Amino acid sequence: MSKVAMLVGDGYEDAEFDVPFECLRNAGHEVTVIGTQRGDTVHGKRGESEIRIQHTADEVKPGDFDALVIPGGHGPDKLRLNDAIVEFTQQFNATNKPLAAICHGPQLLIEADVVNGRTMTSWPSVRKDLINAGAKWEDKKLVEDCNLITSRKPDDLDAFCGALLQRV
Angle between helices 14-26 and 157-167 (to 10 degrees): 40
Q: Are 103 and 45 in contact (CB under 8 A)?
A: no
Query: Coil, strand, or helix at residue 26?
Result: helix
Q: Indicate the pLDDT class of residue 132, thresholds 50, 70 and 90.
A: very high
Taking only the tens place, the pLDDT of each residue in 67-93 is 999 999 999 999 999 999 999 999 999
Contacts of 56 (CB under 8 A, 6+ apart): 34, 35, 36, 37, 38, 84
Q: Which pTM value belongs to this model?
A: 0.96
Give the DSSP H/E element, type plus range, for residue 149.
Answer: strand 148-151
Closest of 53, 157, 155, 34 to residue 100, by C-alpha:
157
Each domain of the chain, given as residue ranges in start order, spans 3-167
The single residue of 23, 103, 146, 161 carrying the catalytic annotation is: 103
Is 23 considered catalytic here? Answer: no
Is 108 in contact with 92 (CB distance < 8 Å)? no
Superfamily in which the 3-167 domain is placed by CATH = Class I glutamine amidotransferase (GATase) domain (3.40.50.880)
Q: What is the mean pLDDT of residues 103-118?
A: 98
